[in-house]
Amino acid sequence: MRMTFFENFRSAVSFTMHNVKARFFHTFLSVLGIVIGVASLVMVLALIEGMEASVRKQILQTTSMNMVIVSSEPFKKSDGVRMRKTDLAILSPVVFDSLKSSLRMSHTAQLVSTYGAEVKVDSSKWVGAQINFSSAMVLRADSLLDGRVLSEEDIYGKRKFAVINRFLAFQSAKDSSLIPALIGKSIHIGAQTYTIIGITAARETTAEAILPISLMDSAKLTEYPPIGLFETPQIENVIPLQEHIQNYLHTHPVSAGDTLIVASNKSRVDQMAKGFLVFRIVMGFIVGISVLVGGIGVMNVLLISVTQRTMEIGVRKAAGAKRRDILVQFLSESVVVSFLGSVLGMILGYLGAMLLAVIISHMATTPFQASVTWGTLLTVSGIAVMVGIIFGTYPAALASKLNPAEAIRHEG
């Protein structure tokens, strides 16, 4: 009597479990390749997922996805040699204000230029600091420790005021209780002198001073080209904002021979995600080779099974079983063996990924978590089933082609 697919599958599961119990070590060693391959694949994919999540989290903590950045590219390559451009496009305060005025959507904008220099607060020693020239001060409410921030009047009035951070203030005062007394004192940056009007809690490991960008002359603007930061409250407005800025700069060029670069952080994160996807695919292919090697073990189990069950196959075919019935039965057994190996491999891979995540967190002294997603599990289980079908096809075809009389006589 012809068996249905589900009857074949149920019979295959029953016989496979019987074989596993009867020849446990033989079966285990045969599917060990799939177990190791699947475990490796799950571990690698879980660690890559965790790494991507960690990097994405750090980017989101330090970067706004709602921001469009306008910047200069000071260098060019000629015949493989990197050299500074002579006709550099610069987003000057005048161009920045004009661009900002052209925007009709809700936004905040800031023009900043940064470089390192030696500074001296009052009569203390000279120390290295990061100098930030800015068109606006964007601070959290709890960031200002003493004094005040730069106002629009300070910035557009070219007032020689400076806001320093607590790290630079402590470098000078050497005592936290004396930091407030620095308000009104002088800070020397190169040959220029500015008055300290505020102290912030920003940057605990780097000395920093913030000054009005209007104080930068054309030589400084060329040497340290400013960057325009445009932020919109709604992330869906990022692309329209970016397109508007690109169109404006196209119709109002700032240099005859050069253009400004307009990019969004969202596009950079998308590029990062694409990079991780390529890395995931490459590593998946490399580790997936071990899964294919494991498929050879599955084929070995089934070939031995065909030899041991020659008489059974002959009796079934003599009783009316079609070639398709035998083929489906052995393919089902192949899938079952592969599935059992993949389940064990996924469990070991998950445990291994969690253990490696703890080791990585300890060695890197930073929080790290492996991430096992449903997508990973479905992909791996799908690969295991495909391996079972591919490597089970030959033994199944061999079994289905047996002549009933010869098969019975072979065992008889």
Is 254 in contact with 92 (CB distance < 8 Å)? yes
Confidence check: pLDDT of 80 > 80: no
Amino acid 163: pLDDT? 93
- pLDDT-based confidence at residue 412 (cuts at 50, 70, 90): very low
Amino acid 23: pLDDT? 66
Amino acid 111: pLDDT? 93
Helix axes 374-400, 265-308, angle to 10 degrees: 30
Most confident of 134-143, 232-241, 281-290, 310-319: 232-241
Instruction: Please give the Cα distance from 226 to 138 (Å, whole number).
Output: 17
| Chain centre to alpha carbon of residue 4 | 47
Amino acid 67: pLDDT? 86
- Give the tens place of pLDDT for each residue, 131-144: 999 988 766 555 88
Residue-range domain boundaries for the chain = 5-60+270-411, 73-259
Mean predicted confidence (pLDDT) in 44-68: 78
Confidence check: pLDDT of 181 > 70: yes
Amino acid 256: pLDDT? 67
Using a pLDDT cut of 70, give the percent of the chain over it. Answer: 82
Q: Which of 42, 55, 45, 58 is nearest to 279 (CA)?
A: 45
- Structure tokens belonging to residue 396: 């199944």
> What DSSP character marks residue 236?
G
Confidence check: pLDDT of 15 > 70: no
Q: What is the 3-state secondary structure (H, E, C) of 74-130?
A: CEEEECCEEEECCCCCCCCHHHHHHHHHHCCCCCEEEEEEEEEEEEEECCCCCEEEE
Count of CB atoms within 10 A of residue 311's CB? Answer: 15
Mean predicted confidence (pLDDT) in 259-285: 78
Helix axes 310-318, 265-308, angle to 10 degrees: 80
Q: Is the pTM of this model over 0.75?
A: no
The residues pairing with 199 across neighbouring beta strands, listed in sequence order, are 146, 164
Strands 227-231 and 108-121: antiparallel
- Give the tens place of pLDDT for each residue, 368-408: 888 888 877 888 778 777 877 787 777 777 777 766 666 56
Helix (H) and strand (E) counts for the chain? 12, 12
pLDDT, the chain, mean: 80
Angle, CA of 180, 182 and 187, to the nearest 5°: 150
Q: What is the chain's alpha carbon radius of gyration, rounded to the nearest angstrom?
A: 34
25, 121, 193 from 171: Cα distances, Å: 69, 9, 18
